[in-house]
């Protein structure tokens, strides 16, 4: 055991501890009110979070004590159990804030969708690392897609679009394992066409696409796809553009349209749908270089930013710790994700690598979507900031996600 301890990647663990601690400090500030008694009062939000953090230590010990092979071996069982747990929500779930995503046991509630990400990562790693699987094979690609999409599709109607969206993160391990770059290119072009259509009209996007395609056709290198391929890409782009326009105007509800329009700067509505983003920007913007100091944030104290201790926790960092503090947090996340990618790359086992990439991808999507939303560069999508946002399920799920990988990494040498 002592040998294994020295093999844990203590740098990752250190960043984890930093993030959880900083997170709690900010939750304390965001949820502080006049009735405050002690730091650990479990009737208070910060007290509860403190309890979750303490229980995480217990959880970590268990996770690291289990045999590394356990995770690979039982991945299918865990995945199926997880699917059942999110399916069960349709029958036994409790609705909180409009989403039926919770099981309630006594005073505690659990959000199984948070844990489903871990299960999916394990199942996908198991599938991709199978000796039989070739990810360049269309059939296997489809099977992988089913593994990923199944939990996402179950979560989507609960409704929890944010959590469902996170499953896009599994593109990263698949790409790493040999998925064709065409998907990446097509995805990127699709997103580009989508955004452009919202900013400009489909007609202009079509004209632009035509010009681009013609130019790249004539400047193509030798032995590249022929004219038909270019033509089909152009047709796809035009088709997407017009259908996006149609979907946006006729299928989306106004609240969806608003979220996009606000980020694109096409609409300013600081009282209604834009309120959250506007208040959060005011809070962050008023922090200046060094912030207003811990528990001194006027926006935070005034509860101007909704959901501040959960999805908008980063606005407290911005207001009370300023540019310096928010830079530290952003860099910690960036380093953590880069470190995980680095660790994943050094794995000899494909299972470990796929899993590592899944962890990095999931953390990245959460990081990107959450902070992007809080600082107003991404539409409002409600997903938590890993290790930061208040919530036992979220904290535990991310802890499990990360520490399974730390265990796998520590065990990499003895794998074969």
Which residues are near other proteins by CB under 8 A? 33-34, 172, 175-176, 178, 181, 184, 279, 281-289, 296, 298-299, 301-304, 318-319, 322-323, 326-327, 330-331, 333-334, 337-338, 341, 345, 357, 360-361, 364, 367-368, 371-372, 375-377
* Cβ distance to other proteins smaller for residue 208 or 379: 379
- Which residues does residue 96 pair with via DSSP β-bridges, in sequence order? 99
- Which residues does residue 105 pair with via DSSP β-bridges, in sequence order? 108
CB of 181 to other proteins, least distance (A): 8
CB of 38 to other proteins, least distance (A): 19
CB of 119 to other proteins, least distance (A): 22
Kindly provide the residue ranges of all beta strands, DSSP E only, lying in 201-342, ordered along the sequence. Answer: none
C-beta of residue 15 within 8 angstroms of C-beta of residue 339 = yes
CB of 380 to other proteins, least distance (A): 16
**Other C-beta atoms within 10 Å of 222: how many?**
4
Task: Give the C-alpha separation, 356 to 173, whole Å.
Answer: 8
Q: CA 204 → CA 114, 198, 223, distances in Å?
A: 41, 11, 31
CB of 316 to other proteins, least distance (A): 13
Task: Give the C-alpha separation, 111 to 93, whole Å.
Answer: 9
Task: Give the C-alpha separation, 46 to 38, whole Å.
Answer: 10
CB of 407 to other proteins, least distance (A): 22
Measured at the CA of 166, the angle between CA 366 and CA 173, to 5 degrees, comes to 95
* Cβ distance to other proteins smaller for residue 217 or 323: 323
C-beta of residue 206 within 8 angstroms of C-beta of residue 237 = yes
CB of 326 to other proteins, least distance (A): 5
345's tokens: 């790359």
Q: Residues near 5 by Cβ (< 8 Å), separated by ≥ 6? A: none
* Cβ distance to other proteins smaller for residue 241 or 389: 389
| Packing angle of the helix pair 138-155, 75-92 (nearest 10 deg) | 30
| Packing angle of the helix pair 10-31, 313-345 (nearest 10 deg) | 170
94-96 sheet: strands from edge to edge: 94-96, 99-105, 108-110
* Cβ distance to other proteins smaller for residue 244 or 337: 337
* Cβ distance to other proteins smaller for residue 34 or 249: 34
* 3-state class (DSSP) for residue 347: coil
* Cβ distance to other proteins smaller for residue 297 or 391: 297
* Cβ distance to other proteins smaller for residue 67 or 296: 296
* Cβ distance to other proteins smaller for residue 159 or 178: 178
CB of 246 to other proteins, least distance (A): 30
């Amino acid at each position: 055991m002592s040998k294994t301890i020295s093999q844990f990647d203590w740098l990752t663990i250190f960043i984890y501890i930093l993030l959880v601690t900083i997170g709690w400090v900010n939750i304390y500030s965001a949820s502080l009110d006049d009735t405050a008694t002690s730091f650990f009062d479990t009737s208070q939000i910060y007290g509860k979070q403190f309890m979750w953090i303490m229980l995480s230590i217990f959880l970590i010990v268990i996770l690291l004590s289990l045999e590394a092979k356990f995770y690979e071996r039982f991945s299918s069982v865990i995945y199926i159990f997880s699917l059942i747990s999110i399916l069960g929500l349709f029958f036994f779930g409790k609705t909180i804030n409009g989403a039926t995503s919770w099981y309630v046991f006594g005073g505690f509630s659990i959000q199984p969708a948070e844990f489903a990400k871990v299960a999916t990562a394990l199942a996908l790693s198991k599938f991709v690392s199978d000796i039989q699987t070739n990810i360049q094979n269309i059939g296997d690609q489809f099977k992988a897609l089913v593994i990923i999409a199944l939990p996402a599709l179950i979560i989507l109607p609960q409704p929890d679009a944010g959590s469902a969206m996170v499953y896009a993160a599994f593109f990263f391990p698949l790409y790493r394992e040999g998925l064709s770059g065409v998907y990446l290119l097509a995805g990127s072009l699709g997103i580009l066409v989508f955004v452009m259509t919202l900013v400009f009209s489909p007609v202009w996007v079509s004209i632009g696409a035509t010009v681009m395609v013609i130019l790249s056709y004539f400047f193509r290198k030798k032995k590249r796809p022929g004219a038909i391929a270019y033509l089909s890409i152009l047709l796809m782009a035009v088709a997407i553009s017009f259908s996006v326009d149609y979907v946006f105007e006729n299928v989306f509800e106004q609240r969806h349209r608003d979220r996009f329009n606000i980020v694109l700067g096409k609409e300013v509505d600081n009282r209604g749908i834009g309120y959250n983003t506007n208040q959060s920007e005011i809070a962050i913007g008023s922090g200046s270089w060094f912030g207003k100091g811990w528990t001194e944030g006027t926006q935070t104290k005034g509860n101007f930013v909704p959901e501040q201790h959960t999805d908008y926790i980063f606005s407290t960092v911005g207001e009370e710790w300023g540019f310096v503090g928010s830079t530290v947090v952003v860099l910690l996340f960036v380093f953590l994700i880069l470190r995980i990618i680095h660790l994943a790359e050094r794995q000899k086992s494909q299972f470990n690598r796929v899993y590592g990439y899944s962890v990095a991808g999931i953390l990245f999507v959460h990081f990107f979507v959450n902070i992007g939303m809080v600082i107003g560069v991404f539409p409002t999508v409600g997903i938590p900031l890993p290790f930061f946002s208040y919530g036992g399920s979220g904290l535990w799920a991310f802890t499990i996600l990360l520490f399974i990988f730390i265990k796998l990494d520590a065990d990499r040498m003895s794998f074969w």
